[in-house]
């Protein structure tokens, strides 16, 4: 039988850091729940609904992994779950990135060696055959470059994602993208955080060919990766990338419909979600709804990005963490997201009742100025009464 996963790294921080009384009490409640051999998820969800304290590193990381269902409620299985998923992710990387062909491309001389000269015409780099391993490589390079163009700009207001990661890179990249060529010319051989995001999203795209990669997925991955990288547990520091990949995959199971154009008009598509938000607004804030209708301000003008990217672009990253503490606490995340959006609109009410289209649209751009704690409070009240 496996031993219980140790929480000593969290307890140590609680006992050695100067933490305000109320916050310390909340952290103790979290640790009381997490210290059980089997986690009571309902209790954890209730406590997380109004935010997870930032004062001890690793608490939010652990809570999110539980709320997403990545870690089982049985604490004795955490070590084996993490270790197994590190191995699974490494296998994905080996199968999808570290192919023999990609290794060959690191040395131009290998284009001309005797072995390559004896290759069949089908395996020639210029072959257009669908079965050509070279065609497969170049197709993959297109995907990688498409992802990389976005990841290099992830949360541009922060230096974090363009800075070097302290975790050794076990997965060399053999693709010759524009970004990588420019870095090579600048003699930049550092392994950066956006490189990790790129790899995770590339693996996801390869394993999910029906959806592949769509612009904006990097913004959903970013909070998960940032939180996990900020952990202090030795095992979790080894599994940052694999944990982020699997948690992103779990999250996308509910979010992917918004990224598929073929599902735009379906019950779970992005248009349906925007219409559902509009219905909630009409029910709970008829005055705002009526004025937006009169001014010709349709839901897609302001809520498309909110819903599609789960509010990641409307707030500073720390605010996103607090919103996601609450969002992940709800089994139906897509439904609760609409209540968070409704709460935002209610908080903007004063600037949405005028008769000038431009002023109202500008008001809808002021989302980031709202206190996220107030958004959670209002959203929770409406949600419970429904």
**Is the confidence at residue 92, as pLDDT, over 90?**
yes
State the pTM of this model.
0.92
Question: What's the topology of domain 262-385?
Answer: Cyclin A; domain 1 (1.10.472)
Instruction: For residue 181, give the 3-state DSSP assignment.
Output: helix
Helix or strand run (H / E) with residue 308: helix 299-308
Give the contacts of 233 (CB within 8 A, at least 6 positions apart): 9, 58, 62
Give the contacts of 81 (CB within 8 A, at least 6 positions apart): 70, 71, 72
Whether 329 and 366 have beta carbons less than 8 Å apart is answered as no
Give the model's pLDDT for residue 268.
Answer: 78
Give the model's pLDDT for residue 130.
Answer: 55
**Is the confidence at residue 176, as pLDDT, over 90?**
no
Give the contacts of 150 (CB within 8 A, at least 6 positions apart): 215, 216, 217, 218
Burial of 16 (0-12, 13-18, 19+ CB in 10 A): exposed
Whether 240 and 330 have beta carbons less than 8 Å apart is answered as no
Instruction: For residue 366, give the 3-state DSSP assignment.
Output: coil
- The model's confidence at residue 110, banded by pLDDT at 50, 70 and 90, is very low
Domain 8-76 has CATH 1.10.540: no
**Is the confidence at residue 103, as pLDDT, over 80?**
no
**Is the confidence at residue 175, as pLDDT, over 60?**
yes
Query: 38-90: per-residue pLDDT in tens?
Result: 999 999 999 999 999 999 999 999 999 999 999 999 999 999 999 999 999 99
Query: 201-225: per-residue pLDDT in tens?
Result: 999 999 999 999 999 999 999 999 9
**Is the confidence at residue 129, as pLDDT, over 80?**
no
Give the model's pLDDT for residue 269.
Answer: 87
Q: What percent of the chain has pLDDT over 90?
A: 78
Q: Can you tell me the mean pLDDT for 181-210?
A: 95
Give the model's pLDDT for residue 107.
Answer: 45
Give the model's pLDDT for residue 108.
Answer: 42
Give the chain's mean pLDDT.
90
Give the model's pLDDT for residue 124.
Answer: 53
Give the model's pLDDT for residue 329.
Answer: 98
Six-digit token string for 381: 């009240």
Q: Can you tell me the mean pLDDT for 225-246?
A: 96
Q: Where are the domains of the chain?
A: 8-76, 78-106+127-259, 262-385
**Is the confidence at residue 98, as pLDDT, over 80?**
no
């Amino acid at each position: 039988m496996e031993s219980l996963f140790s929480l000593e790294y969290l307890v140590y921080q609680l006992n050695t850091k100067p933490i305000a009384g109320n916050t310390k009490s909340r952290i103790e409640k979290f640790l009381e729940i997490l210290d059980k051999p089997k986690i009571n998820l309902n209790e954890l969800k209730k406590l997380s609904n109004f935010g997870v304290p930032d004062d001890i590193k690793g608490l939010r990381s652990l809570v999110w992994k539980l709320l997403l269902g990545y870690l089982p409620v049985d604490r004795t299985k955490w070590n084996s779950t993490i270790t197994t998923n590190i191995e699974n992710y490494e296998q994905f990387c080996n199968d999808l990135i570290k192919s023999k062909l990609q290794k060959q491309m690191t040395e131009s001389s290998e284009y001309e060696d005797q072995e390559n000269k004896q290759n069949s015409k089908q395996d020639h780099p210029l072959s257009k055959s669908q079965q050509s391993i070279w065609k497969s490589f170049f197709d993959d390079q297109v995907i990688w470059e498409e992802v990389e163009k976005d990841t290099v700009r992830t949360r541009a207001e922060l230096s974090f994602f363009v800075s070097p990661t302290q975790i050794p890179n076990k997965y060399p990249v053999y693709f010759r993208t524009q970004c990588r060529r420019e870095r090579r010319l600048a003699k930049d051989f550092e392994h950066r955080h956006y490189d990790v995001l790129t790899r995770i999203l590339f693996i996801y795209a390869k394993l999910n060919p029906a959806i592949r990669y769509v612009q904006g997925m990097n913004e959903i991955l970013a909070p998960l990766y940032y939180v996990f990288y900020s952990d202090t547990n030795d095992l979790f520091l080894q599994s940052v990338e694999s944990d982020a990949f699997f948690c992103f995959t779990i999250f996308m199971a509910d979010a992917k419909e918004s990224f598929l154009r073929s599902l735009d008009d379906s019950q779970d598509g992005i248009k349906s979600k925007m219409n559902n938000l509009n219905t909630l607004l009409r029910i709970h804030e008829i005055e705002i709804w009526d004025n937006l209708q009169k001014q010709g301000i349709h839901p897609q003008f302001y809520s498309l990005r909110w819903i599609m990217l789960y509010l990641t672009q409307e707030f500073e990253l720390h605010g996103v963490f607090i919103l996601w503490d609450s969002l992940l606490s709800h089994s139906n995340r897509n439904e609760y997201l609409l209540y968070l959006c409704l709460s935002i609109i209610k908080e903007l009410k004063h600037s949405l009742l005028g008769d000038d289209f431009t002023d109202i649209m500008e008001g809808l751009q002021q989302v980031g100025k709202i206190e996220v704690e107030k958004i959670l409070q209002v959203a929770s009240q409406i949600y419970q009464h429904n």
